[in-house]
């Protein structure tokens, strides 16, 4: 399972012009599910992401987590994170999980975040979405549950 995590001042996701999820500040998380991923992969990222110390403390050091700041998370499914563009010009998405598994793990990930008492908004799985955000920093991290990078 892969995630792109961005520290944002605000973010929203819309489907057909209607806002489905919105946060005033916190983390925008793009989540991609790979073939062979399991609930263990989702748990790993759901435990790691809220604890990432990427928000500034009063001394200006990145020493606080979204949990510490009281911010929210906006989670957007994105199978293209599993795209392989090493060969040719059209990325291959063969490493992405089939949609039923991907949706189950996407929803499981969101449930694990919410169980921690954090505000977690989301997009609608397998729809065309428009995501708007104001990156803060910018701070962007790439995470992989298999620790491939």
- CA torsion sign for 49, 50, 51, 56 is positive
Mean pLDDT of the chain: 97
Number of domains within the chain? 1
How many C-beta atoms surround the C-beta of residue 95 within 10 A? 15
Domain that holds residue 82: 2-144
Question: Which residues are annotated as catalytic?
Answer: 78-80
Helix (H/G/I), strand (E/B), else coil: 121: strand
Span 93-118, pLDDT tens digits = 999 999 999 999 999 999 999 999 99
Which of the 8 DSSP states describes residue 71?
A: -
Tell me the pTM. Answer: 0.97
Is residue 149 in some structural domain? no
Q: What is the CATH number of the domain that holds 33?
A: 3.50.80.10
d(CA 137, CA 13): 21
Residue 149 has pLDDT above 90, yes or no: no
Span 62-92, pLDDT tens digits = 999 999 999 999 999 999 999 999 999 999 9
d(CA 55, CA 87): 37
């Amino acid at each position: 399972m892969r995630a792109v995590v961005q520290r944002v001042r605000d973010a929203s996701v819309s489907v057909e012009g209607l806002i489905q999820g919105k946060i005033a500040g916190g983390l925008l998380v793009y989540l991609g599910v790979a073939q062979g991923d399991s609930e263990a992969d989702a748990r790993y990222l759901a435990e790691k992401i809220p604890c990432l110390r990427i928000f500034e403390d009063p001394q200006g050091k990145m020493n606080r987590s979204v949990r510490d700041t009281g911010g929210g998370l906006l989670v957007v499914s994105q199978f293209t994170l599993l795209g392989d563009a090493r060969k040719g010009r059209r990325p291959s998405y063969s490493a992405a999980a089939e949609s039923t598994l991907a949706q189950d793990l996407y929803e499981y990930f969101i449930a694990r975040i919410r169980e921690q008492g954090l505000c977690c908004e989301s997009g609608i799985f397998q729809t065309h979405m428009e995501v708007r955000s104001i990156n803060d920093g910018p701070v962007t991290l790439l995470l992989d549950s298999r620790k491939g990078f």
